[in-house]
Amino acid sequence: MQLKDKTILITGGSSGIGLESIKHFLTEGMKVIICGRDGLKLQLAKSKFPSIATISCDITKEEDVSLMHQLVMSSGGIDILYHNAGVVSVNSLVEKTAITIATNEMETNYLSAVRLTSLFLPELAKRKEAAFVFTTSAVAYLPAAFIPTYSASKAALHSYVLSLRYQLRELYKNISVIELIPPTVDTEATKIFTSAKVSAERVAKDVVNGLKNNRSTIHVSIAKSFSYLHRFFSSLAFSIVNPKNPIR
């Protein structure tokens, strides 16, 4: 895919992988729009990268998403929608809070992606070359038991991506459906995790390279090895994902 002069919308673009990705997309000559819930973080991102556009939006709220869609379309639309926003919580399934946490994670990590994809699909269908990028996770294949409902939300998203790619492959051959599969990434959200982590910069570089090389699945670092390990040695893979002391 040719990236120069294309416009990308990054959800959750004011921190973590999304924020790190901005400079790499700008280097490729792209126009970048980011959205997020934290106004201060959006301002800081704008001060760091003055050429980007920022939109305050809670992607779990239909009215916010509708307004964002209108703003994006009025500014010329997009070529790539990068579903990067996500939340993760360490939680116990035996606690009463499990349903509250699960609802938040499912709405943010999965349902928002379905909503946004449906909303922007007609726009991307008109482009000569377009893409949806979805950040799932290695735990979409085998759950990390200390983040159980996060793992479930990413498993749902992985399944959705496979179905979307299948359904669009004949209808809209101009649209690529790309799954980004990182292991644990070193961000504010994972600071209490004891597992080995990859940098957000590594993930951002892999996303750019994956888009440029038309890869439908982008495994970051050990994620690819893990997928094979899970397939042939599932018990061993589960023990690796679920160490005795997963958090500090």
Q: What pLDDT shows up at residue 188?
A: 79
pLDDT, tens only, 30-45: 999 999 999 999 999 9
**Distance separating alpha carbons of residues 52 and 36, to the nearest angstrom:** 13
Q: What pLDDT shows up at residue 197?
A: 82
Looking at residue 53, what DSSP letter applies? E
Sort 63 into a burial class: Cβ within 10 Å, 0-12 / 13-18 / 19+: exposed
Q: Give the start-end residues of each E strand in the chain.
A: 7-11, 31-36, 53-56, 80-83, 130-135, 175-181, 217-219
Active site residue 166: no
Note if the pTM is more than 0.85: yes
* Cα angle value 77/54/217 (rounded, 5°): 65
Q: Residues 27, 3: contact at Cβ < 8 Å?
A: no
When comparing pLDDT for 193 and 104, which is higher? Answer: 104
**Distance separating alpha carbons of residues 5 and 25, to the nearest angstrom:** 10
pLDDT, tens only, 158-182: 999 999 999 999 899 999 999 999 9
Q: Are strands 31-36 and 80-83 parallel, antiparallel or unpaired?
A: unpaired
Query: What is the pLDDT confidence band of residue 226, given thresholds at 50, 70 and 90?
Result: low
pLDDT, tens only, 47-65: 999 999 999 999 999 999 9
Residue 108's nearest CA partner among 92, 88, 78, 81 is: 88
Sort 101 into a burial class: Cβ within 10 Å, 0-12 / 13-18 / 19+: buried
Domains of the chain: 7-241 (3.40.50.720)
Active site residue: 82, 141, 150, 160, which one?
150
